[in-house]
Structure 1
Amino acid sequence: MDKVSKLSNLSNESTTTTIGRTDEDDMELLYPLPEKDYGGDRLALQHHLFKYIWRSNFSAPVVEKLNAGAKVLDFGCGTVSWLLDVSSQYPKSTFYGVDQPYLLRLSTPTIPSNVSVQYYDILSGLPFDDETFDFIYMRFMAGEIPEKQTERIINEFLRVLKVGGYLEIMDVETQ
């Protein structure tokens, strides 16, 4: 069932939107672990652990852009741990997170005014104009995206990435 619905949020100044399919049967393809294994606490801990290991939230040379005020997309934002962290570090920038509606149930944090979260079918294309973002970030999604969709998703990233922008894909090797 296709639908677009505005979801309530704890912040009066930011938005959370659901776009596209929300059938839970579809989510099995993208999230192979049982729901109990996708707990928000585990994802938040994972975020902080990898930030500590890598000594940063990202490796792309975008600090100057972020300090000046950039548009950033977090593809597969999950429980928004990364978004909350970087949006507080770079308050002049605007951050957009997209992910499956399935993850909305795992976390409902207070969303800062410089963050907008959209939950929708991430395989149905990005709902943004061409050349919208200065920086696109994706972390730990390799096992979540069907292999046959990877090229199409990368092409969508390139479509919405500004000329001179940065795309960072951070993942672990799986065999």
Structure 2
Amino acid sequence: MRRSRRRTRTLTVFREGGRLVAVVPERISAREQNELIPPLVQRFLRREAKRGLPQAPDELNRRALELYRRYLRPLTGEDPPGFSVTWSSRQQHRWGSCSAWSGEIRLSARLQTMPSWVSDYVLLHELAHLHQPNHSAEFHRLLSGYPDRDRAKAYLLGYQHGAGMGESETPDAEDDYS
């Protein structure tokens, strides 16, 4: 549990490094905390189970390997380079990021509330960066085989619009958001 000075009324729960974290207003009483957090955690776990998203780092890495083998290997003809995937609660301006030189992929924890085909798209996008660090024609060719690509991009765009996030991370025609 974390207390936040910036949070004044609402509570939230998310996963960070495989653990659940509850963020509560700094001034909430222990009684309120004990009443409000357990139902919030239960609701979060129910939603998480419905989505079927990989939550632990091992599961996330297995999912990434599965996506790589299914969609990228046929186009690259190569086994995947070394990589590791983690959820990040610190990524508030990007859906994902990739350090191609180290193979580190970080996905925004916000994706955990979205359908799996959306998080799969962002994960696949970052995996493609292991081969193409930019958003070149070759990069887009690598993503072309994912059947939910356009639907996932539209979902992320709608989410950003609904959340009033502006266009800073909008996947545009060049797919330039990670």
Specify the structure having the higher radius of gyration (Cα): 2
TM-score (norm 1): 0.32
Which structure has the highest helix share of the two?
Answer: 2
Which structure has the highest strand share of the two?
Answer: 1
